[in-house]
Structure 1
Amino acid sequence: MLRGALHRHPDGAGYARGEDTRARIVAAALKLFGERGFEAASTRDIAAAAGVNAPALRYYFDNKEGVYLACAEHIASHVWEYMSQVVADAEQVLAENESHDALIDAFCAIQGRVVDFMFKSQDSLEWQLFIAHGQGGQGPAAGFHIINNRLNEPISSVTTAIVGRLLGRAASDDETRIRSMALSGQLAVFQMMRRTALTSLNWDKVDAERLELIKRVVIDHTRAVLHAMIIGRSPT
């Protein structure tokens, strides 16, 4: 149920204190849910990690599911804040029927923004673990749907529309969707298999120079594939 994920505000001067407490609980829960999964992370452990007692957790979130849904909302809102402008720019390119090159630039700009978030955000690794559990079917399904509906769908709808425009196919066409997902999937190795990727590259970390290399290679691949789509597009 979503009720537990809603804010409960103390009255008057206690508001700021209450928001701080709530934020600490969410931060602690994100870490523990990411490390242990929904079932293994107890409300007692979450409360202890946040420096509050169990009744405080229940006051703000009702139960563990309420905390979990608040974590999903936190991720969705913060990542969308980071991504929203580049997605809006791509939507404008589509709406104005701009050139193929402009469409490709818009798709690549979204990918570049995702890569930046993955490696520049201090929270990204923790959040990726949380999301990975949801992708594996762990935790309340409502948490997956919050992230999918508020974050994944708005991004994928615009990238799929771009691919469809370049292919000469409908955005709803299965091939269009698969091609769009395949292009976005290039990032998965650095997102969900980061340790494997770094080990294969003999890197101990991703510094600014290495980040730019990752972005350049991914975007070069994407441009090549998108240009090939134009050449092989369905006749109109």
Structure 2
Amino acid sequence: MAATKKAKREYSPEQTRERLLLSGLKLFGRYGYKGVTTRALAEDAKVNQASIPYHFGGKEGLYRAVAEMVADDMTVVKSVFYRHAPLIFRKIGGRKALLRKVVQKSVRRIVRRFLGFRDNAADRPAFIVREYMEPGAGFDILYDRVIKNVHMALTAMVAAAFGLSEESDEAKLRAHALMGQVIAFGVARPVVLRRMGWESYTEENVDAIAGAVVEMVLGALGLKEREGNR
């Protein structure tokens, strides 16, 4: 990967670290850990190459720090959804109306958090997907801190809807299918943008996506309201 030289300027230590993290997020997501050099990282961030070992100990340290940053960015989902989700779904059990409301709120939050609407929002899903394709130390961090817990929460959701054991293969596979509906909007972002005629994922667009995903999840779980009950 050819690195393009860009003019450098002076930044504070905090600004330098932040710029390297954002460049790492972008480049590791696009090219993978092996496809990125420290020179490319420094030039993209417009900082001195020596800043990488100074702040992170080297390329691997920056890569791990990026994974930690992405995991930290999911803490809103963690706090409002999956930390206590399995217990919540167990308590709800077969109460379909209550389960429907919790599913609607939970899935919407996951979609909004995964897709986001910041300037570099596309880089986060890209980094996660790259780690799915080429699992490394970054994947281990994401799995242990985020993915495993979200998957367990979705499995509990499926188990509650169908009266299954949370440890059953059926519940886990159905949960994975639900998770894939969200991930698809990150992986296939260019397709979605072109088909919808959107320039980017704005807050309004992400809300529309969330609404579609919620309806699909409710249908898959057998929780959609009948027309006469709306």
- For normalisation by structure 1, the TM-score amounts to 0.78
Match of 2:103 among 90, 107, 120: 107
Whether contact under 8 Å (2:185, 2:192) holds in the other structure is: yes
Equivalent of residue 159 in structure 2, options 157, 161, 164: 164
Give 2:66's aligned residue.
Answer: 71
Question: Partner residue of 2:227?
Answer: none
Q: Which runs of 5+ in 2 are unaligned?
A: 1-11, 225-230
The reply on whether 1:32 has 2:12 as its aligned counterpart is: no
Is the counterpart of residue 53 in structure 1 residue 61 in structure 2?
no
* Partner of residue 225 from structure 1, selected from 201, 220, 223: 220
Q: Larger deviation: 180-189 or 220-229?
A: 220-229
1:93, 1:106 within 8 Å by CA — same for their partners in 2?
no
- State the Cα distance separating 1:23 from its structure 2 match: 1.9
Number of the residue aligned with 1:14: none
101-110 or 23-32: which moved more?
101-110
Aligned equivalents of 1:23 and 1:61: distance in 2? 11
TM-score normalised over the length of structure 2: 0.80
Q: CA RMSD in A?
A: 2.6
Greater displacement, 111-120 / 85-94: 85-94
Percent pairwise identity: 27
Contact 1:90 1:106 in 2 (8 A): no
1:70–1:188 distance in 2 versus 1, CA, 3 Å: same
Shift in Å at residue 124 of structure 1? 2.5
CA contact (8 A) 1:164 1:170 kept: yes
Count of residue pairs brought into register by the alignment: 212
Q: Structure 1: any 5+ residue segments left out of the alignment?
A: 1-16, 230-236
- Which deviates further from its counterpart, 127-136 or 145-154? 127-136
Letter in 2 for 1:41: V
In 2, the alpha carbon distance for the partners of 1:122 and 1:102 equals 36
Work out the CA distance in 1 between the residues paired with 2:108 and 2:211: 9
Matched, 1:124 2:136: no
Aligned residues of 1:47 and 1:57 also touching (Cα < 8 A): yes
Instruction: Measure, in 1, the Cα distance between the counterparts of 2:60 and 2:203.
Output: 38
Task: Name the aligned partner's letter for residue 109 of structure 2.
Answer: R
1:228 to partner: Cα distance: 6.4
